């Protein structure tokens, strides 16, 4: 088998990679003893680059196209090998094909809740998840910094590291954005753009570029979401008193429809429903606001007096006092006000008796 492999390796002079695996980033071209014949054909397809490595040093990098390997199109390798006008066949070199297409639908998510401070709710814990896409931007840098001499490097070997970068930078952006929790949903696009800017240096250092970052969901703990649901329900109900009356009316209707109760059941249901309606409505009745000023003064009493056999009035207490002072009303004048069963003399009303006591009697002629 060893001799057969050697012969097959010398006969094959086409170097190419037909990528059939969606997860492979780097694939090393297999050759017997790493020998490549002079004038070999190199085919690099779209979304690929070919990297030639000589004794552990990256030499030439080929973009998509078809090449005949000579000293003219292998300038760096020719310099490293000391080839000036040509070279003897075969020569040794490692050939790595690097996929430059996008690796899409890579998942990211927080393993544990992330604590952050919200202006409305205070300290809260958030979980988030989504997806991202990346591609190799600099094949030489990626080989140097990440894959090294791995002959078959797949997404699985780096996905964990990329996911950790996405989560760390992403949650840092969310926490520092100052966006209220209840407004995060309508700002996903804005946050995704900020995360891409934040992670760009980390990806560039590995020869990669982040082509897409999507936030699918940012969620609160279940108990906090349940509390928000209750708060939302109360906001939708609005007037709790009217809602309680509506519920009581439904209860009345259900009780009246009870087939076992008949008319008696309907009447009982009506009475119970009315009672429930009143009680529940009272529970949710809005308290009346406290008055902002003193209550209005009570109305002053009105007096009627009998003068010359005629009813005269009504008069205020101040007017009666003036009439006492000028002698129109005295101790024996008949007086009546609201609340009295019959007419009485002025000196029988306490408020008038005190005024009469201060007025001297008329002079004796």
Contact indicator for 129, 173 with CB cutoff of 8 Å? no
Is residue 231 one of the residues assigned to a domain? no
The model's confidence at residue 7, banded by pLDDT at 50, 70 and 90, is very low
229 lies in a domain? no
Q: What range defines the domain where residue 49 resides?
A: 2-99
Q: Are residues 249 and 143 in the same domain?
A: no
**272-275 long-range contacts, CB within 8 A, separation 24+:** 273/248, 273/249, 274/248
Give residue-wise pLDDT tens across range 152-181.
999 999 999 999 998 888 888 888 888 888
Is residue 238 scored above 70 in pLDDT?
Answer: no
Residues 132 and 213 in one domain: yes
Residue of 160, 32, 68, 58 whose CA lies nearest to 108: 160
Please identify, among 74, 99, 124, the residue that sits at the C-terminal boundary of a domain.
99
Residue at which a domain ends, from 67, 99, 131: 99
Question: Is residue 124 domain-resident?
Answer: yes
Q: Does the pLDDT at position 208 exceed 60? A: yes
95 and 188, same domain (yes or no): no
**256-305 confidence digits (pLDDT tens):** 776 665 444 444 445 554 555 555 455 545 556 666 777 776 667 888 88
> For 114-159, how does the pLDDT look when each residue is reduced to its tens digit (9 = 90+)?
888 888 778 888 889 999 999 999 999 999 999 988 899 999 999 9
Domain end (from 63, 78, 99): 99
Across 312-320, average pLDDT:
86
* Residue 43 predicted with pLDDT over 70: yes
20 and 112 belong to one structural domain: no
Tokens of 214: 């999507």
Q: Does residue 23 fall inside a structural domain?
A: yes
The conformation of residue 87, written as its DSSP 8-state character, comes to -
Same domain, 117 and 218: yes
Residue 128 sits in the same domain as residue 216? yes
- Please give the mean pLDDT across all residues of the chain: 80
- Would the pTM of this model clear 0.75, i.e. be above it? no
Measured at the alpha carbon of residue 290, what is the angle toward residues 284 and 295, in degrees to the nearest 5? Answer: 135
125 and 165 co-located in one domain = yes
> Do 95 and 204 belong together in one domain?
no
Over residues 29-40, the pLDDT tens digits come to 987 666 788 788
pLDDT per position as a tens digit, 91-109: 788 899 999 999 999 999 9
Domain match, 28 and 114 both: no
Q: Are residues 279 and 352 in the same domain?
A: no
pLDDT value of position 291: 62
Does residue 183 lie within any of the structural domains?
yes
Residue 82: inside a domain, yes or no? Answer: yes
Question: Does 218 lie in the same domain as 257?
Answer: no
Beta pairing class for 344-345 and 334-337: antiparallel
353 belongs to a structural domain:
yes
- Residue 47's pLDDT is 93
**pLDDT computed for residue 17 by the predictor:** 94
pLDDT of residue 263: 45
Alpha-carbon dihedral 308, 310, 314, 318, rounded to 10 degrees: 10
State the pLDDT at residue 5.
Answer: 47
In a domain, 291, yes or no: no
Largest Cα–Cα distance in the chain? Answer: 168
Contacts of 261 (CB under 8 A, 6+ apart): 255, 268, 269
State how many domains the chain has. Answer: 4
pLDDT value at residue 252: 73
Residue-level pLDDT at 237: 62
| Number of Cβ within a 10 Å radius of residue 265 | 15
Residue 203, pLDDT > 90, answer: yes
Q: Is the pLDDT of residue 4 over 50?
A: no
pLDDT at site 350: 83
Domain harbouring 210, CATH code: 3.30.479.30
- Do residue 267 and residue 164 come from a single domain? no
- Work out the pLDDT band at 9, boundaries 50, 70, 90: very low
């Amino acid at each position: 088998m060893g001799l057969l492999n050697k012969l097959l390796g010398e006969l094959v002079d086409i170097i190419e990679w037909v990528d059939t695996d969606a997860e492979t980033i780097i694939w090393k071209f297999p050759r017997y003893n790493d020998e490549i014949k002079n004038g070999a054909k190199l085919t690099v397809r779209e979304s690929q680059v070919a990297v030639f490595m000589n004794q552990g040093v990256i030499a030439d990098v080929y973009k998509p196209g078809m090449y005949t390997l000579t000293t003219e199109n292998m300038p760096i390798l020719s310099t490293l090998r000391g080839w000036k006008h040509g070279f003897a066949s075969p020569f040794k070199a490692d050939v790595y094909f690097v996929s430059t297409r996008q690796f899409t639908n890579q998942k990211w998510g927080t393993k544990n809740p992330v604590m952050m401070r919200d202006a409305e709710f205070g300290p809260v814990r958030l979980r988030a998840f989504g997806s991202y896409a990346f591609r190799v931007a600099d094949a030489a840098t990626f080989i140097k910094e990440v894959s090294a001499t791995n002959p078959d490097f797949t997404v699985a070997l780096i996905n964990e590291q990329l996911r950790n970068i996405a989560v760390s930078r992403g949650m840092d952006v969310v926490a520092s954005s100052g966006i209220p929790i209840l407004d995060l949903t309508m700002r996903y696009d804005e946050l995704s753009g900020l995360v891409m800017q934040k992670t760009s240096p980390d990806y560039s250092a590995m020869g990669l570029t982040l082509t897409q970052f999507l936030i699918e969901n940012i969620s609160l703990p279940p108990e906090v979401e349940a509390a928000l649901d209750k708060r939302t329900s109360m906001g939708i109900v609005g007037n709790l008193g009217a809602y309680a009356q509506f519920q009581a009316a439904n209860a009345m209707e259900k009780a009246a429809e009870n087939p076992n109760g008949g008319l008696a059941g309907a009447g009982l249901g009506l009475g119970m429903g009315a009672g429930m309606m009143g009680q529940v409505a009272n529970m949710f009745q809005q308290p009346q606001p406290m008055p902002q000023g003193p209550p209005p003064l009570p109305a002053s009493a009105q007096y009627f007096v009998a003068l010359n056999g005629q009813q005269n009035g009504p008069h205020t207490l101040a007017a009666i006092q003036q009439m006492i002072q000028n002698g129109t009303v005295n101790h024996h004048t008949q007086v009546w006000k609201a609340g009295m069963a019959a007419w009485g003399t002025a000196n029988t009303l306490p408020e008038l008796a005190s005024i009469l006591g201060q007025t001297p009697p008329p002079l004796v002629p």
